[in-house]
Amino acid sequence: MEHLLIGIILILALFAIRISSKHGIPALLLFIVLGMGFGLLGFEFDDYQFADGLATFALMVIMFYGGFGTNWNMTKPVAKEAIILSSLGVVTTALLTGLFCHFILGFSMLEGMLVGSIVGSTDYASVSNILRSKNLNLKYNTAPLLELESGSNDPTAYTMTMVFLSVILGSKVSVPLLILSQVAIGLAVGFIYAFLLGKYLRYQKVRQDGLSAVFMAAAMLITYATADLLGGNGYISLYILGIYLGNIEFRGKRDIVFFFDGFSEIMQIALFFILGLLSNFQGFIKTFPIAFAIMMFMTIVARPASVWGLMLPFKLHKNQLHMISLAGIRGAAAIAFAIMVINSGATFSSDIYHIVFGICVLSSLIQGSLMPPASRRLDMLDPNDTVLQTFNYYQDKAEIGFLKTQIDKGSHLAGMEVRDLNLTFDFIVAKIERDGKAVVPRGSVVIEEEDTIVLGGAKYFDTSGGDLVEFTIPKGHKWADKYIKDLNLPESLIIIMLMRGDETIVPLGNTFLQVGDKVVFQEIKEEK
C-alpha cells in the first residue's frame, strides 16, 4: 500500500510541475498544497523527528547541487553584492522581523528574534525554480546575483537560529564563539575538501557509469558530517564544495549532473510534500493572520530596507533593487529550521511551526507568482540573453561548448556579415558582445572591430586523460622565460593553450612563456 501511495504522489507531483509551467505558480508551493491535501484526506503524520532528518538531508542535497550548478564566471562580477546580501542582508532582515514580532505582534523579544532568524534567508529552490521555469533572463547580472545570494544565505539564517535557540534553552555558550566556529570551521572544511576532491577527480581512473555520482554523494555526506562534528556549519561547507567542483572539469561530471538533477528534484518533492503533510490545517488557519502580517512586513519593509540599505554603495539600478527585493522568497530552509526548533524541546508561547509554514506558503504564492509579471513591468527582462547561462546548464547537461574570440582592429573579419563567415567546421555564432551589450547574431548583423564573438559547437572531453596535460610553469622550469620556438619540442608534443591570469593566449612560435603561466599541451605517446 505504501509503495502505491508513493507512486501516486510522484505522478501527482509531475502534474503539479506541468501546472506550474503553464500558469506560473511555483511548483514547490504545489507540492506543499499536495501534502496538505493528503492530510485533509485523513493521512495523519506528526513525526517531527523523521521530518527533521529528511529536511536536513534534502537541504544538504539542495545546498550542494545549488553550488555545483553555479557558474562562477557569471556570478563573479556580482559576488560582493550577493555575499553581503547573503550575510548582512539575512541578519538585517531577521532583526527587523524580530523587532516587528516583538513590538507589534506581542512576541517575547527572544521568541520574536528566533522567528525572524528562522525566516531570514531567501529560498534557493524557489528562486532558481522560478528563474529557470519562466526563463527570467534579468538585466544587469541580476539572475546570477539572486542565484548566489539565495544559494549561500541559508547558513547565516541557520547560525542565527542556533544562537537564539541556545539562549532560549539557557545553554552556557559564548555567542561570539558559536558564530565564529560555525562560520570559520564550515568555510575551512568546505575549502579543504573541495581542494582535495578537486585534485582527486582530475586524475581518478574510475570511468564506469554511475560510480562518479555515487562517489560524489558519499563526498557530500562526509563533508557535511565532518563540519558538523567539528562544530561548524555543514551547509557552508557543502555550498563551497559544490561551487568549486561544479566549476572544474573532470571525468564523469555529466553523470553527476544528470544524477543530482533528478535526485535533487525528488528530494524537493519529498521535502515539500512531507512539510505539507506535517502541517495541521486547523493550525494553519489559526496562525494565518500572524503569518500573513509577518510575510507582508518582510516583503514590504524588512527585505526592501535590507536590499536598498546594503546595496547603496554599489549604485544598482532602481528597477533592479525592486526586483531583488521582491525575490526574497521564504521556503524549505525556513520550515526545516522550524522543525529543528520544535525538536529542541524548548517551550514557546506560539505555534512556531505553523507560523513559519504559513509565511513560506504565502511568500511562495504571492512573491513567486509576482516575479514573472514584475520583471516585465519593471523592464528587467533582457531578450538577448538566457538565464540558463547563469547556471552550469549547457556545459554540463548538453554536448555543447562555447568559445569566445576578440575581433582585433584591422582584422579581415571586421565589416563582414555573420552570414558571410562561411564557417568551415560545425560551429555557429552563438552571441556577439559589443560595448558591454549582447547582440543577437542574425545573418545581416555586421561584425565590428573589438566585438567579442562567442562560437558554439560540439564539445570534447578527453576521457582517457592521458593526451591532454595541464600544468603551471614553476620557477626554474626549463620552459620558463623562453619563446615557444626555442623549446625544441618533439614532434609528438604541441602546446594547445596558454592562460596568464584571466587572459587566454593562442600559443605561437614567438609567444614568450613566463613563470606562473598555465599551459595545456598534447602529447601523443606511441604504442609499443
Residue 387's pLDDT is what?
Answer: 47
The domain boundary, picked from 363, 389, 415, lies at: 389
Q: Residues near 407 by Cβ (< 8 Å), separated by ≥ 6?
A: 413, 414, 447, 448, 449, 450, 451, 452, 453
- At 390 the pLDDT is 46
**Is residue 222 assigned to a domain?**
yes
Q: How confident is the model at residue 494 (pLDDT cuts 50, 70, 90)?
A: confident
394 found inside a domain: no
528 found inside a domain: no
Distances (CA, A) of 223 to 24, 215, 220, 226, 230: 36, 12, 5, 5, 11
> Residue 425 in 3-state DSSP?
coil
Q: Do residue 258 and residue 333 come from a single domain?
A: yes
Mean pLDDT of 92-103: 95
Q: How many CB atoms lie within 10 A of CB 512?
A: 11
What are the φ/ψ torsions at residue 194 (nearest 5 degrees)? -60, -45
SS (H, E, C) 378-396: CCCECCCCCHHHCECCHHH
How does DSSP classify residue 45?
A: -
Average pLDDT over residues 200-223: 76
Residue 23 inside a domain? The answer is yes
- Indicate if the pLDDT at residue 395 is higher than 50: no
Kindly state whether residues 374 and 406 are assigned to the same domain. no
Q: Which residues touch 325 (CB under 8 Å, ≥6 apart)?
A: 303, 304, 307, 308
Report yes or no on 463 lying in a domain.
Answer: no
Residues 88 and 231 in one domain: yes
Across the chain, mean pLDDT equals 81
Comparison of pLDDT for 353 and 403, the residue scoring more: 353
3-state secondary structure of 454: strand
The contacts of residue 239 (CB under 8 Å, 6+ apart) are 63, 64, 66, 67, 151, 152, 155, 190
φ/ψ of residue 521, rounded to 5: -135, 160
CA distance 156 to 256: 28
| Buried b or exposed e, range 318-345, using 16+ CB within 10 angstroms | ebbbbbbbbbbbbbbbbbbbbbbbbeee
Residue 69 has pLDDT above 90, yes or no: no
Q: Is the pLDDT of residue 18 over 70?
A: no
**Assigned domain for 417 exists:** yes
Q: Look at 51-60, 96-105, 312-321 and tell me which has the smallest mean pLDDT.
A: 51-60
Note the pLDDT of residue 265: 75
Residue 410 has pLDDT above 60, yes or no: yes
What pLDDT, on the 0 to 100 scale, is given for residue 258? 76
- pLDDT for 194 equals 92
Residue 406 falls inside a structural domain: yes
On the question of pLDDT at 9 being above 80, the answer is no
pLDDT band at 94; cut points 50, 70, 90: very high
Strand partners, 453: 405, 432
More confident residue, 443 or 134: 443
Q: Which amino acid is at 518?
A: K
CA angle 211, 216, 222 (to 5 degrees): 130
329 and 299 housed in the same domain: yes
Total number of domains constituting the chain: 3
Question: Are 78 and 173 members of one domain?
Answer: yes
Which residue in 268, 273, 305, 314 sits closest to 128, CA to CA?
Answer: 268
Is the pLDDT higher at 202 or at 275?
Answer: 275
Give the pLDDT mean for 332-342: 87
Model confidence at 309: pLDDT above 90? yes
Whether residue 381 is found in the same domain as residue 416: no
In a shared domain, residues 500 and 365? no
More confident residue, 156 or 501: 156
pLDDT at 327 over 70: yes
Question: Does the pLDDT value for residue 90 go beyond 90?
Answer: yes
Q: What's the CA gap between 221 and 336, in Å, rounded?
A: 18
Q: Of all residues in the chain, what percent carry a pLDDT higher than 70?
A: 83
Angle between helices 154-168 and 90-103 (to 10 degrees): 40
Kindly give the pairing relationship between strand 437-439 and strand 428-434: antiparallel
pLDDT at 465: 45
Average pLDDT of the residues in 93-110: 95
Are 450 and 482 members of one domain? Answer: no
Q: How confident is the model at residue 48 (pLDDT cuts 50, 70, 90)?
A: confident
Nearest to 163 by CA among 89, 108, 110, 121: 110
Contact (CB, 8 A) for 258 and 216? no
Burial of 267 (0-12, 13-18, 19+ CB in 10 A): buried
What does residue 469 show for φ and ψ, rounded to 5 degrees?
Answer: -125, 135
Across residues 267-295, what is the average pLDDT? Answer: 86
Grid cell locating 137: 533572463
The CATH number given to whatever domain includes residue 233 is 1.20.1530.20
What integer pLDDT is reported at residue 515 of this predicted model?
A: 86
Domain of 483 in residue numbering reads as 468-523
Average pLDDT over residues 379-394: 55
Indicate the residue among 389, 424, 441 that finishes a domain: 389
The pLDDT score that the predictor gives to residue 172 is 74
| C-alpha closest to that of 285 among 34, 40, 111, 28 | 40
Least confident of 102-106, 140-144, 193-197, 314-318: 140-144
Closest CA to 251 of 216, 218, 194, 206: 206
Question: What's the whole-model pTM score?
Answer: 0.70
Same-domain status, 230 and 326: yes
Phi-psi category of residue 307: left, alpha or beta, with phi > 0 → left and psi -120 to 50 → alpha: alpha
Same domain, 117 and 96: yes
Same domain, 190 and 151: yes
pLDDT band at 528 (very low <50, low <70, confident <90, very high): very low
Q: What is the pLDDT of residue 209?
A: 55
- Residue ending a domain, choose from 389, 412, 439: 389
A 10 A CB-CB count for 84 gives 16
Could you tell me what percent of the chain has a pLDDT over 90? 21
More confidently predicted of 392 and 62: 62
Instruction: Report yes or no on 494 lying in a domain.
Output: yes
Least trusted range by pLDDT, from 115-119, 233-237, 408-412: 408-412
Distance CA 294, CA 306 (A): 16
Q: Indicate whether 122 and 263 sit together in one domain.
A: yes
> What pLDDT, on the 0 to 100 scale, is given for residue 28?
65
Give the bridge partners for 29, in sequence order.
none
pLDDT tens digit sequence for 242-268:
988 888 777 777 778 778 877 877 787
- What are the helix (H) ranges across 169-302? 175-203, 211-229, 234-246, 253-278, 281-286, 288-297
9-13, 86-90, 259-263: segment of lowest average pLDDT: 9-13
CATH number assigned to the domain comprising residue 421: 3.30.70.1450
Whether 322 has a pLDDT exceeding 70, the answer reads yes
